[in-house]
Amino acid sequence: MVGSVHDAEDLTQETYLRAWKARERYDEQRASVRTWLYRIATNVCLTALEGRPRRPLPSGLGTASDDPGAPLIPDFEVPWLQPLPERYLSADRDDPQARLAARAGVRLALVAAMQVLPPRQRAVLVLRDVLGFSAAEVAGQLDTTTASVTSALQRARAAVATASPSEDGLREPAAGPTIERYVRAFEASDVDTLVTLLTADAVLEMPPVPLWYRGRADYGRFMARVFAMRPGAWRVLSTTANGQPALTAYCPDDGGGHRLHTLQVLTVTAAGIAHTVVFQDPKVFAAFELAPSL
């Protein structure tokens, strides 16, 4: 809903606080505890989002750059979308399909697309398609009609339909070999191999720098610049974010070790890596509890 791990933490605390204060008014004949809590959480989120700007990625703010030498100037005035650490995703689901559905509901591209929606449409989409509530239950949570929920859901689905590859196009868990080859190429600063692992129109973006690139050629030219700026052997560790493959990149430092450089969230399709979002924000590093050096 809010696109920020830190905001979500605060709003979760507020949800439990409101629930505790209202506990004597809870009626188990009217709703389950789960439905009741999500109603409170939804209202907390809607209140928090009033008058608040959306959290974008660079690709949501303007056209792609074709200049690999453009200045890398971060813009911390923009409330950038944040990735989600794996620890926030339930790991105790016995059903593989349920686990896949849970991860599909928090894909980075999907969350980015949600930020464009009006808050109530965003809430309907999350409650219906991610959390699996019925239209009648959502209508009760939002104090509206079932017809209104159905209409809002249709509009929301249409708005995010092109946000990311279809689930049929995503490679899970077959992304492993592609990621392994990408890691080896990255550690060796091997741009030629990197670009062979990309789709033709692959996107590279890097909040908080408001720059982004599209296509193998510009992606490769920018990576050549990065490796020229940080020559030597890199270290790359595999992790996950938003239920997707992710990498933690450490660049060589002057003392012979490696220091934290970026967290990279990858979208891997059957055709290759289609999207890489590179985060270089201290708040993101803290949320993922990343070691500052190796």
Cβ count near 141 (within 10 Å): 22
Give me the DSSP letters along 239-272. EEETTEEEEEEEEE-TTSSEEEEEEEEEEEETTE
- Residue given tokens 């989120």 in the structure block: 45
pLDDT tens digits in sequence order for the chain, 294 residues long: 999 999 999 999 999 999 999 999 998 888 899 999 999 999 999 999 998 999 999 999 999 999 999 999 999 999 999 999 988 886 655 666 666 667 777 889 889 999 999 999 999 999 999 889 999 999 999 999 999 999 999 999 998 886 655 554 555 556 789 999 999 999 999 999 999 999 999 999 999 999 999 999 999 999 999 999 999 999 999 999 998 999 999 999 988 899 999 999 999 999 999 999 999 999 999 999 999 999
| Domains, the chain, with CATH or none | 176-287 (3.10.450.50)
Partners of residue 143 on adjacent β-strands:
none
Residue 97's pLDDT is: 67
CB 280 within 8 A of CB 261: yes
CB 195 within 8 A of CB 150: no
Burial track 62-80 (b if 16+ CB lie within 10 A, e otherwise): eebbeebeeeeeeeeebbb
Residue 47's pLDDT is: 96
Burial track 222-240 (b if 16+ CB lie within 10 A, e otherwise): bbbebbeebeeebbbeeeb
Report residue 268 CA to chain centroid gap: 14
